[in-house]
Amino acid sequence: MTTPPRLRHVFVRGLELQARLGVHAHEKIAPQRVVIHMDLAAEDSGPDIGEDDLARVVDYERLVHAARAAVAQGHVLLVETLAERLAMEALEDSRVVSARVTIEKPDAFHDAASVGVTVERRRG
């Protein structure tokens, strides 16, 4: 009987960025506030308490930089597309077995706290 892999969750919560995102004309004219949340499940194959070594962990700073870079690339029509791009970027680290990315548009409707999407992508 094989032991299931141990997982470590690495996350970024509430990353607020200005993004050109959406299908409506007013969304194409000016950037709007988006809030990004990422939760990655990564294999943790080390000892119960590992060495204090950055090489053994998933770098959440890289996730923040990737989100900033994706938003800086220009207008994206769908929140789904942006979330999918970020999830696929997270899976570039071979230790990441799944990536869940949520993109919220908190200012889309005056009577809703937020709208958006969550996508989850898993390694093969």
Number of domains within the chain? 1
Q: Is there a domain that residue 112 lies in?
A: yes
Could you tell me whether strands 115-122 and 7-19 are parallel, antiparallel, or unpaired per DSSP bridges?
A: unpaired
What's the CATH number where 19 sits?
Answer: 3.30.1130.10
Q: Which range of residues forms the domain containing residue 105? A: 7-47+54-122
pTM for this structure? 0.91
Query: Is 1 within a domain?
Result: no
Q: Is residue 2 part of a domain?
A: no
Cα–Cα distances in Å, from 108 out to 7, 18, 115? 35, 13, 7
Per-residue confidence of the chain (124 residues) as pLDDT tens digits?
Answer: 676 778 999 999 999 999 999 999 888 899 999 999 999 999 987 766 767 777 778 999 999 999 999 999 999 999 999 999 999 999 999 999 999 999 999 999 999 999 999 999 998 7
Angle formed at CA 120 by CA 83 and CA 38, multiple of 5 degrees: 60
